[in-house]
Chain A
Amino acid sequence: MSTPLLILDGLTKAYPGVVANDGVSFVIGEGEVHALLGENGAGKSTLVKMIYGLVKPDSGSMRLRGAPYEPAEPRAARADGIAMVFQHFSLFDALNVAENIALGMEHPPAMRDLAARIREVSETYGLPLDPYRTVGELSAGERQRVEIIRCLLQDPKLLIMDEPTSVLTPQEVAILFETLRKLKSEGTSILYISHKLEEIRSLCDQATILRLGKNVGACVPAETSAREMAELMVGSALKTPERAGRDFGDVALDISGLSLPAPSAFGTALKNLHLSVRRGEILGIGGVAGNGQDELLSVISGEETTTSDAVKFNGQPIGHMGPSARRALGVLTAPEERLGHAAAPDMSLTENALLTGATREGLARNGFLKWGAARAFAARIIEAFDVRTPGPENAARSLSGGNLQKFVIGREVLQRPEVLVVNQPTWGVDAAAAAAIRQALLDLAAGGAAVICISQDLDELMEISDHFAALNEGRLSAPRPTSELTVDEIGLMMGGAHGMEVAHV
Chain B
Amino acid sequence: MIRLEKRPQPSRGWSLATPLVAVLATMIAGGLLFAVLGKDPVAAIRTIFWDPLFGEFAFYYRPQLLVKGAPLVLIAIGLSLGFRAGIWNIGAEGQYIIGALCGAGMGLAFYPAEAWYIFPLMVIAGAFGGWAWAMIPAILKTRFGTNEILVSLMLVYVAEQFLASMSLGLLKNPEGFGFPGSRNLQQYASAHNAEIITGTGMHWGVVAALIAVIFAYVLLNRHLLGYHIRLTGEAPRAARFAGVKPARLVLFCLGASGALAGMAGMFEVSGPSGQVSIDFNVGYGFTAIIVAFLGRLHPVGILLAGALMALTYIGGDIAQSNMGLPSAAIQVFQGMLLFFLLALDLLTNYRIAIGKPEVA
Name A's B-contacting residues (CB within 8 A): 53-56, 72-75, 301-303, 322-325, 327, 333, 335, 337, 339-347, 351, 354-356, 358, 364, 367-369, 371, 395, 398
Among B86-94, B178-186, B218-226, the stretch that binds chain A is B218-226
Q: Can you spell out 13 A-B residue pairs with CB atoms less than 8 angstroms apart?
A: A54-B360, A56-B359, A322-B245, A324-B242, A340-B237, A340-B238, A344-B234, A344-B238, A345-B234, A351-B231, A355-B231, A358-B224, A367-B224
B240 at the interface (CB under 8 A from A): yes
B235 at the interface (CB under 8 A from A): yes
Q: Chain A residues near B360: list those with CB within 8 A.
A: 53-54, 72-75
Q: How far is the CA of A195 from the CA of B360 in the complex (A)?
A: 29
Q: Chain B residues near A358: list those with CB within 8 A.
A: 224, 242
Q: How far is the CA of A376 from the CA of B242 in the complex (A)?
A: 19
The answer to whether A368 touches B243 (Cβ under 8 A) is no
Q: Chain B residues near A53: list those with CB within 8 A.
A: 360
Q: How far is the CA of A75 from the CA of B235 in the complex (A)?
A: 36
B114-149 contact mask (Cβ, 8 Å, vs A): 1 or 0: 000000000000000000000000000000000000
The answer to whether B359 touches A303 (Cβ under 8 A) is no
The answer to whether A54 touches B359 (Cβ under 8 A) is yes
| Residue from B225, B230, B241 in contact with A303 in the complex, judged by beta carbons closer than 8 Å | B241
How close is B62's CB to chain A, nearest CB, in angstroms? 37
Q: How far is the CA of A302 from the CA of B245 in the complex (A)?
A: 11
The 6 closest A-B pairs by CB, nearest first: A73-B360, A324-B243, A323-B243, A344-B235, A344-B234, A341-B237
| 7 extra A-B contacts, CB within 8 A, seeds A54-B359, A323-B240, A339-B235 | A323-B241, A335-B241, A344-B239, A354-B227, A355-B241, A356-B241, A369-B224
The answer to whether A341 touches B227 (Cβ under 8 A) is no
Q: How far is the CA of A5 from the CA of B191 in the complex (A)?
A: 90
Q: What is the chain A residue whose CB lies nearest that of B235?
A: A344
How close is B226's CB to chain A, nearest CB, in angstroms? 8
* Count of inter-chain pairs, beta carbons less than 8 A: 77
Identify which of B225, B227, B239 gathers the most chain A CB atoms within 10 Å of its CB.
B227
The answer to whether B245 touches A355 (Cβ under 8 A) is no
B321 at the interface (CB under 8 A from A): no
The answer to whether A341 touches B241 (Cβ under 8 A) is yes
Q: How far is the CA of A75 from the CA of B359 in the complex (A)?
A: 12
| Residue from B8, B238, B358 in contact with A355 in the complex, judged by beta carbons closer than 8 Å | B238
How close is A311's CB to chain B, nearest CB, in angstroms? 16
B322 at the interface (CB under 8 A from A): no
The answer to whether B234 touches A342 (Cβ under 8 A) is no
B198 at the interface (CB under 8 A from A): no
B344-360 contact mask (Cβ, 8 Å, vs A): 1 or 0: 00000000000000111
Q: Chain A residues near B243: list those with CB within 8 A.
A: 302, 322-325, 327
Q: Chain B residues near A364: list those with CB within 8 A.
A: 224
How close is A333's CB to chain B, nearest CB, in angstroms? 8
How close is B252's CB to chain A, nearest CB, in angstroms? 13
Q: Chain A residues near B235: list those with CB within 8 A.
A: 339-341, 343-345, 347
The answer to whether A55 touches B224 (Cβ under 8 A) is no
Q: How far is the CA of A75 from the CA of B222 in the complex (A)?
A: 52
Q: Chain A residues near B245: list those with CB within 8 A.
A: 322
Name B's A-contacting residues (CB within 8 A): 8-9, 222-225, 227, 230-231, 234-235, 237-243, 245, 358-360
The answer to whether B227 touches A398 (Cβ under 8 A) is no
The answer to whether B238 touches A341 (Cβ under 8 A) is yes
The answer to whether B231 touches A398 (Cβ under 8 A) is no
How close is B6's CB to chain A, nearest CB, in angstroms? 12
Q: How far is the CA of A327 from the CA of B245 in the complex (A)?
A: 15
The answer to whether B231 touches A55 (Cβ under 8 A) is no
The answer to whether B358 touches A398 (Cβ under 8 A) is no
How close is A353's CB to chain B, nearest CB, in angstroms? 11
Q: How far is the CA of A199 from the CA of B237 in the complex (A)?
A: 36
The answer to whether B359 touches A368 (Cβ under 8 A) is no
Q: Chain B residues near A333: list those with CB within 8 A.
A: 241
Q: Chain A residues near B239: list those with CB within 8 A.
A: 344
The answer to whether B9 touches A395 (Cβ under 8 A) is yes
Q: How far is the CA of A333 from the CA of B243 in the complex (A)?
A: 12
How close is B267's CB to chain A, nearest CB, in angstroms? 29
Identify which of A72, A355, A364 gathers the most chain B CB atoms within 10 Å of its CB.
A355
Q: How far is the CA of A357 from the CA of B20 in the complex (A)?
A: 40
How close is B338's CB to chain A, nearest CB, in angstroms? 25
How close is A357's CB to chain B, nearest CB, in angstroms? 10
| Residue from A72, A73, A325, A368 in contact with B224 in the complex, judged by beta carbons closer than 8 Å | A368
Q: Chain B residues near A302: list those with CB within 8 A.
A: 243
Q: How far is the CA of A498 from the CA of B231 in the complex (A)?
A: 41
The answer to whether B222 touches A369 (Cβ under 8 A) is yes
How close is A391's CB to chain B, nearest CB, in angstroms? 13
Q: How far is the CA of A292 from the CA of B175 in the complex (A)?
A: 72
Given known contacts A323-B242, A355-B238, A356-B241, A344 and B231 CB-to-CB distance under 8 angstroms? yes
The answer to whether A368 touches B222 (Cβ under 8 A) is yes
Q: How far is the CA of A303 from the CA of B358 in the complex (A)?
A: 45
How close is A163's CB to chain B, nearest CB, in angstroms? 22
The answer to whether B231 touches A347 (Cβ under 8 A) is yes
Q: Chain B residues near A322: list those with CB within 8 A.
A: 243, 245
Q: How far is the CA of A337 from the CA of B242 in the complex (A)?
A: 14
Q: What is the chain A residue whose CB lies nearest that of B231?
A: A344
The answer to whether B222 touches A342 (Cβ under 8 A) is no
How close is A305's CB to chain B, nearest CB, in angstroms? 11
Given known contacts A340-B235, A355-B231, A55 and B241 CB-to-CB distance under 8 angstroms? no
Q: What is the chain B residue whose CB lies nearest that of A16?
A: B8
Identify which of B8, B222, B238 gathers the most chain A CB atoms within 10 Å of its CB.
B238
Q: How far is the CA of A445 from the CA of B192 in the complex (A)?
A: 69
The answer to whether A367 touches B225 (Cβ under 8 A) is yes
Q: Chain A residues near B242: list those with CB within 8 A.
A: 323-324, 355-356, 358
Q: Chain B residues near A335: list those with CB within 8 A.
A: 241
How close is B214's CB to chain A, nearest CB, in angstroms? 15
Q: How far is the CA of A302 from the CA of B243 in the complex (A)?
A: 8
How close is A15's CB to chain B, nearest CB, in angstroms? 11
Q: Chain A residues near B230: list those with CB within 8 A.
A: 347
Q: What is the chain B residue whose CB lies nearest that of A72?
A: B360
Q: How far is the CA of A354 from the CA of B9 in the complex (A)?
A: 21
Q: What is the chain B residue whose CB lies nearest that of A71?
A: B360
Q: How far is the CA of A54 from the CA of B81 in the complex (A)?
A: 43
How close is A422's CB to chain B, nearest CB, in angstroms? 13
Q: How far is the CA of A343 from the CA of B241 in the complex (A)?
A: 9
Q: How far is the CA of A345 from the CA of B223 in the complex (A)?
A: 20
How close is A351's CB to chain B, nearest CB, in angstroms? 7
The answer to whether B8 touches A398 (Cβ under 8 A) is yes
Q: Chain B residues near A343: list those with CB within 8 A.
A: 235, 238
Q: What is the chain B residue whose CB lies nearest that of A347?
A: B234
Given known contacts A346-B234, A369-B227, A301 and B359 CB-to-CB distance under 8 angstroms? no
How close is B348's CB to chain A, nearest CB, in angstroms? 13
How close is A425's CB to chain B, nearest CB, in angstroms? 16
The answer to whether B234 touches A398 (Cβ under 8 A) is no
How close is A362's CB to chain B, nearest CB, in angstroms? 12
Q: What is the chain A residue whose CB lies nearest that of B360?
A: A73
The answer to whether A342 touches B238 (Cβ under 8 A) is yes
Q: Chain A residues near B237: list those with CB within 8 A.
A: 337, 340-341
Q: Chain A residues near B223: list those with CB within 8 A.
A: 367-369
Q: Chain A residues near B225: list those with CB within 8 A.
A: 367
Identify which of B243, B245, B359, B360 gathers the most chain A CB atoms within 10 Å of its CB.
B243
Q: What is the chain A residue whose CB lies nearest that of B358?
A: A56
How close is A304's CB to chain B, nearest CB, in angstroms? 9
Q: How far is the CA of A45 from the CA of B358 in the complex (A)?
A: 17
Q: Chain A residues near B224: list those with CB within 8 A.
A: 358, 364, 367-369
Q: How far is the CA of A368 from the CA of B227 in the complex (A)?
A: 10
